[in-house]
């Protein structure tokens, strides 16, 4: 049994997230956590809302709330949605917690003591109309690298390059829209990342199993030269800087946000201090396998900045083993946009269809090798094929037949023959491949292997046709039906990380115990788990078909700028 620490990129607090956010980090992390639990690993799955920075202040002002109240309410809204999506966090915390404030200040003091913090006077954007400095996202303009017209002062959404507000061309205030901006001096603190390049190089060289996407982004940053990073901002909301002369300033959100992984673990341990020890996961935790899941735009902060904080502290903090970065999910040929309300947001998705339908499609089409485009037409076709026609058909055909011909009692009699032996051998190959893909972790390939197991089960039942054997060879029919029931159990077991709600309904109908369904030791064992004489319940159709009219109506409903 291994210890698996799994974190998902922290969803930002300003509003409900869209399908792209779910596909890029939250769902892959949950699927991996669920599989690790299935194989018997000790798992800690941690996440939190990212609550500091300019977007929180801007969103709170737009909502007419003070920022603390706004963040508290939005955290509750997001947490409720993630519960509906069956995301199995062990703890879903907040980056604004007292624990994260204290831990962020601890890291700063350690870095400062070790000579890795430097004070510099910066030319900052100041807005006379707003009467304040405009940090980060308070400044909008044209990206100097790619020309994107709506780049923010911290990062360009189009080319993902990190920016400072003074880099933007044709800048304007995000508060008032004023272009009458001035450049004034302001004192700030920098993390001397350039002093940690050799340590960072050795650290990255010691990692393995990173996707090519992540490695290429990390190498690009190293090859271009790691720059020192400003870690303070002229804001009121955030973690205060514990240094004389910096009253009224807070830490940059990208300094404190990754630290919240550790702080959220501390909050998790505080809930049961007698049994939970956060240090065993983060402090001298060489026995822990730590995997991060995030979108490609977050890779630089997790492959460079956060490791610099941990390594620079000089303390034995656990650093990530594998960064699982993915590309983007696009929407009907364009980008999802929270600000423009373009795309399908998670509350809307759950009002349309059950969580498992979204979970399956996003996993089966995970944007791992390249960007994936979501369209309602493609979504409907894939859901119909995979969930209704393949998995749903497998479950319903055998359970309905069992109910109609055997009164819902798994039949005794008959013995396994050559078809069952061939089936078991192929299933063993498929299960081994599935476990390798999960270990990768490759979400898309894992889903492909689950689909292949569903197809194999359907092919077996179609070929052996127990309904045609009832009169001529009832013993053989009984053996095939019993195998079919066990195939349903296996199909639901391997599907559980992806569609947990539906898988649990199926397993409950088969009389299997509630909780995490254990990974099968072998196909032979899996095909004999449900025995003759056991009572099995029936289920209605698991997944209704999505019609072309439904797809077109949904596409029109969620057209750009028209999302409800």
Binding site for ATP: what residues are annotated? 338
Tell whether omega for the bond before 441 is within 30 degrees of 0, i.e. cis: yes
Binding site for Zn(2+): what residues are annotated? 143, 146, 156, 159
Binding site: what residues are annotated? 143, 146, 156, 159, 338
Residue 498 corresponds to which tokens in the numbers above? Answer: 């992806």
Residue 394: CB partners within 8 Å, gap ≥ 6?
A: 454, 457, 458, 461, 487, 488, 491
Q: What is the largest CA-CA distance in the chain?
A: 92
- The CA distance from 480 to 487, in Å, is 10
For residue 3, what is the DSSP state?
E
Q: Are 242 and 105 in contact (CB under 8 A)?
A: yes
Q: Strand order of the sheet with strand 139-142?
A: 151-152, 139-142, 169-173
For residue 293, what is the DSSP state?
E
Residue 426: CB partners within 8 Å, gap ≥ 6?
A: 456
Which SS3 state, helix, strand or coil, does residue 184 take? strand
- The CA distance from 87 to 29, in Å, is 9
For residue 345, what is the DSSP state?
B
Q: Are 95 and 256 in contact (CB under 8 A)?
A: yes
Q: Torsion angle of alpha carbons 460, 464, 465, 467, nearest 10°?
A: -120
Q: Are 393 and 420 in contact (CB under 8 A)?
A: no
């Amino acid at each position: 049994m291994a210890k698996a620490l799994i974190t998902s990129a922290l969803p930002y607090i300003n509003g409900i997230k869209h399908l792209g956010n779910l596909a890029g980090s939250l769902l892959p992390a949950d699927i991996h956590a669920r599989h690790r639990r299935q194989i018997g690993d000790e798992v800690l799955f941690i996440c939190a809302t990212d609550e500091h920075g300019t977007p929180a202040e801007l969103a709170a002002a737009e909502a007419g709330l003070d920022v603390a109240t706004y963040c508290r309410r939005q955290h509750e809204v997001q947490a409720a949605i993630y519960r509906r999506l069956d995301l199995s966090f062990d703890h879903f915390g907040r980056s604004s917690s007292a624990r994260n404030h204290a831990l962020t200040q601890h890291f700063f003091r350690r870095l400062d003591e070790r000579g890795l913090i430097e004070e510099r006077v910066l030319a900052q954007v100041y807005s006379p109309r707003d009467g304040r400095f405009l940090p980060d996202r308070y400044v909008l303009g044209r990206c100097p690298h790619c020309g994107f017209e709506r780049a923010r002062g911290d990062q360009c959404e189009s080319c993902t390059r990190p920016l400072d507000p003074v880099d933007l061309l044709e800048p304007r205030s995000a508060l008032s829209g004023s272009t009458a901006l001035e450049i004034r001096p302001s004192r700030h603190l920098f993390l001397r990342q350039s002093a940690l390049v050799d340590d960072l190089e050795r650290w990255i060289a010691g990692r393995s199993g990173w996707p090519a996407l992540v490695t290429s982004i990390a190498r690009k940053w190293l090859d271009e030269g790691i720059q020192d990073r400003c870690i303070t901002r002229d804001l009121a909301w955030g973690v205060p800087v514990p240094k004389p002369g910096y009253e009224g300033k807070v830490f940059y959100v990208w300094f404190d946000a990754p630290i919240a992984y550790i702080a959220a673990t501390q909050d998790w341990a505080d809930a049961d201090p007698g049994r939970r020890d956060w240090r065993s996961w983060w402090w001298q935790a060489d026995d822990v396998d730590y995997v991060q899941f995030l979108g490609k735009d977050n890779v630089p902060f997790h492959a460079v900045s956060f490791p610099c904080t941990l390594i620079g502290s000089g303390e034995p903090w656990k650093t990530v083993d594998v960064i699982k970065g993915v590309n983007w999910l696009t929407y009907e040929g364009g980008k999802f946009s929270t600000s423009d309300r373009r795309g399908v947001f998670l509350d809307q998705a759950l009002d349309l269809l059950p969580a498992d339908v979204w979970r399956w499609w996003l996993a089966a089409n995970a944007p791992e090798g390249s960007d994936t485009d979501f369209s309602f037409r493609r979504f409907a076709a894939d859901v119909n094929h995979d969930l209704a026609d393949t998995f749903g058909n497998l479950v319903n055909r055998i359970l309905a037949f069992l109910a109609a011909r055997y009164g819902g009692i798994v039949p005794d009699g008959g013995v396994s023959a050559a078809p069952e032996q061939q089936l078991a051998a192929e299933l063993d190959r498929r299960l081994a491949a599935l476990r390798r893909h999960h270990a990768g972790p490759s979400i898309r390939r894992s889903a492909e292997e689950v689909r292949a197991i569903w197809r194999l089960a359907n092919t077996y039942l179609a070929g052996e046709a127990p309904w045609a054997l009832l009169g001529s060879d009832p013993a053989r029919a009984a053996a095939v039906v019993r195998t079919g029931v066990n195939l349903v159990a296996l199909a639901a077991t391997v599907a559980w990380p992806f569609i947990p709600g539906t898988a649990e309904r199926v397993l409950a109908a088969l009389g299997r115990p509630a909780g995490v369904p254990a990974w099968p030791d072998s196909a032979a064992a899996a095909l004999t788990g449900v025995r003759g004489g056991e009572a099995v319940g029936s289920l209605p159709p698991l997944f209704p078909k999505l019609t072309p009219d439904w797809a077109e109506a949904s596409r029109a409903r969620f057209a750009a700028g028209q999302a409800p």
